[in-house]
Amino acid sequence: MSTAKPINVYSIPELNQTLDEALPSIFARLNYERSYALLDTKLYIGYSIAVVAGLSFFLDKKFERSEIILYQKLLVGAYVVLSLMFWYFTRFVEKGTVYTGKNRDTKEEIYVKTKFEKNEPLYLVGLIQKKKGNSSRKDLKTKLEVNKVFNESGYLQNEVLFKWFSEQLNVLATKKNI
């Protein structure tokens, strides 16, 4: 099985986007249900920033400056705090996670982080597996040569990618807990 359209396999952004977009279907076949907790948290913080900015604009348009100066100072403070929360969340909590899911059977959580470095066609994948209700954690960092999952025409071979991730999860299962 391959994607509907070919991509330019010499374009790192296209490779990254195509491979990241394939993760939900790959992990669904591996019995993982996608979790949106990280994305929801990021959205809540972002919407809160927008509400604070909108409220500040509304107060500025409806009232005189002398009437709202204290409220504007509070809103600017809230905006700064929320912006710092957003920065901290994306930098230290989310840390490049592109997929999170929970195994339907074992209740394990999986976190997948991906990136390309130095414009090389190596898909760097970090897998983190956590057991629910337990502090045990397993990490695996691995590399995928993209020419193994794309054919010469630029089509993604989903079956090969599925097999590769399945093998990586088997390696992760044999690792000891951290």
Q: Which helix (H) or strand (E) is 98 found in, with range?
A: strand 97-103
Q: Percent of the chain at pLDDT above 90? A: 82
pLDDT at residue 126 is higher than 70? yes
CB 98 within 8 A of CB 90: no
Predicted model pTM: 0.84
Quick count: other Cβ atoms within 10 Å of Cβ 58? 11
* pLDDT tens digits, one per residue of 40-64: 999 999 999 999 999 999 999 999 9
Predicted pLDDT of residue 104: 83
What pLDDT shows up at residue 1?
Answer: 46
Measure the CA–CA gap between 121 and 9, rounded to whole angstroms.
Answer: 9
- Cα(166)–Cα(70) distance, integer angstroms: 57
User: Which conformational region is residue 119 in: left (phi greater than 0), alpha (psi within -120 to 50 degrees), or beta?
Assistant: left
DSSP string, 121-144: SEEEEEEEEEETTS--EEEEEEEE
Task: Give tens-digit pLDDT for 85-108.
Answer: 999 999 999 998 999 999 988 889
Domain ranges of the chain: 12-31+104-174, 39-93
Average pLDDT, stretch 137-160? 94
Task: Determine contact, residues 138/129, Cβ cutoff 8 Å.
Answer: yes
Helical segments of 63-146, H only = 65-88
- Tens digit of each residue's pLDDT (9 = 90 or more) over 129-139: 998 777 788 99
